[in-house]
Amino acid sequence: MSGLEAIGPTTVGRARGRWASRAARAAIGAALALGGLACEPYPGSGSTSSSASSSSGASGASSGASGSSGRRPINADKLCTRLVTECGQAVTMDVCRRQFTAILVTGACADVLATASCADLTTSSSPALETCFPACAGTLASCNDDGSITICTAAGTTNVLDCEEACKADGARVYTGTCGLSHGAQISDTPQCWCR
């Protein structure tokens, strides 16, 4: 076993279900899944990798795009400040930042989030969240040609994650540069961002 950990569909679904609250997840429609909130946790944040490779991520399907199409990192600091301070979500800033730091969003999403109300950010469904995290169905993740991975979360929303940032957020791991079904001797049932 090489000490690799994979970030992808399998573990994100488990982690998100563990400590998310649909209100917060909907509130940025993606990665925050903390108690009482409606969010899903960031891939790998709830994983417990022991010896070899484990998978941390969210189940996913993609619309077939091979890149993240001009997406940019979500402003996790600004979003988390709003969620915790203004919207009163019961999560620490560190946990919130870790959940959102690897999420990539479109310019339209960034604009909507900047003006969304707390009600829009903390509900399980709102136009803002639908803009940022469109509905999806499926069980397969899709690696993009730009170092990101598109997943369909257990909650049925599309997330695009930057593999390098996802690995950093998952225990300060390093992205191997490989997104796919395998890395070295490690194999996964679904595409993953492989971290070490």
Tens of pLDDT, residues 113-126:
989 999 999 988 89
Highest mean pLDDT out of 19-23, 63-67, 117-121, 136-140 = 117-121
Vertex 12, ends 137 and 69: CA angle to 5°? 60
Are 133 and 103 in contact by the 8 Å Cβ rule? The answer is no
Question: What is the pLDDT, as a whole number, of residue 67?
Answer: 52
In this predicted model, what pLDDT tens digit does every residue of 12-45 receive, in sequence order?
433 332 223 333 333 343 333 222 222 233 333 3
The number of domains in the chain is 1
Determine the average pLDDT of the residues in 66-91: 87
Determine the average pLDDT of the residues in 71-95: 93
Question: What is the pLDDT, as a whole number, of residue 41?
Answer: 33
pLDDT at 179 over 90: yes
**What average pLDDT is seen over the chain?**
72
**Residue 20 belongs to what domain range?**
5-195
